[in-house]
Chains A and B, each alone.
Chain A
Amino acid sequence: MANSHETVETAQTATEYVQHHLGFLTFGQRQDGSLGFAHSTQEAADMGFWAINVDSMLISVLLGILFIAVFRFGIKGATSDKPGAFQNFLEIIVEFVQSNVKNSFYAKNDLIGPLALTIFCWIFLMNAMDLVPVDWIPLLAQTIAGDSHLYFKAVPTTDLNITLGFAISVFFLIIFYSIKIKGLGGFLGEFAFHPFGKWALPLNLILELPGFLAKPVSLALRLYGNFFAGEVIFLVIALVGYWQLPLHFGWAVFHILVVTLQAYLFMMLTIVYLNQAHQTH
Chain B
Amino acid sequence: MNLNATIIGQSIAFFVFVWFCMKYVWPPITAILEERQKKIADGLEAADRAQRDLNLAQNKAAEELREAKQHGAELIEQANKRASQIVEEAKDKAREEGQRLISGAKAEIEMELQRAKEDLRAQVAAIAVAGAEKILESSIDQAANEELMKKLASEL
Binding site for B on A (CB under 8 A): 26, 28, 44-45, 47-53, 56-57, 60-61, 64, 67-68, 71-72, 75, 78-80, 90-91, 94-95, 98, 110-111, 113-115, 117-118, 122, 159-162, 164-166, 168-169, 172
A53: chain B residues at CB < 8 Å are 4, 6
Give the residue name and chain of the A residue nearest to B17 (CB).
Answer: A64
Q: Which of A52, A95, A118, A172 contacts B21 (CB 8 A)?
A: A118
B11: chain A residues at CB < 8 Å are 165, 168-169, 172
Check B7 against A161 for contact (C-beta < 8 Å). yes
Check B25 against A80 for contact (C-beta < 8 Å). no
Query: What is the total number of residues of chain B having a CB less than 8 Å from a CB of chain A?
Result: 31
Check B17 against A118 for contact (C-beta < 8 Å). yes
A48: chain B residues at CB < 8 Å are 4
Contacts A80-B36, A98-B33, A164-B7 aside, 9 further interface pairs with beta carbons under 8 A come to: A28-B5, A51-B4, A80-B39, A94-B26, A161-B4, A162-B10, A164-B10, A165-B9, A165-B13
> Would you give 19 A-B contacts (Cβ < 8 Å), ordered by A?
A44-B2, A49-B5, A50-B5, A52-B9, A57-B9, A61-B13, A68-B24, A68-B25, A71-B21, A78-B28, A94-B33, A111-B22, A113-B26, A114-B21, A114-B25, A161-B3, A165-B10, A169-B10, A169-B15
Check A68 against B10 for contact (C-beta < 8 Å). no
C-alpha gap A68/B6 in the complex (Å): 21
The 10 A-B pairs with the shortest beta carbon distances in the complex, nearest first, are A165-B10, A161-B6, A80-B35, A114-B22, A114-B26, A114-B21, A80-B36, A53-B6, A71-B25, A118-B21
| Nearest Cβ on chain A to B54's Cβ, whole angstroms | 27
Check A168 against B7 for contact (C-beta < 8 Å). yes
C-alpha gap A80/B28 in the complex (Å): 10
C-alpha gap A118/B36 in the complex (Å): 23
Check B6 against A159 for contact (C-beta < 8 Å). yes
B18: chain A residues at CB < 8 Å are 111, 114-115, 118
| Nearest Cβ on chain B to A54's Cβ, whole angstroms | 9
| Nearest Cβ on chain A to B36's Cβ, whole angstroms | 4
Check B29 against A71 for contact (C-beta < 8 Å). yes
Check A75 against B3 for contact (C-beta < 8 Å). no
Check B29 against A90 for contact (C-beta < 8 Å). yes
Check A78 against B6 for contact (C-beta < 8 Å). no
Check B2 against A45 for contact (C-beta < 8 Å). yes
Chain B CB count within 10 A is highest, among A72, A75, A165, for A165
B14-62 residues at the A interface, CB under 8 angstroms: 14-18, 20-22, 24-26, 28-30, 32-33, 35-36, 39
B21: chain A residues at CB < 8 Å are 67-68, 71, 114-115, 117-118
| Nearest Cβ on chain A to B18's Cβ, whole angstroms | 5
Answer yes or no: B8 CB below 8 A from chain A CBs: yes
A110: chain B residues at CB < 8 Å are 22
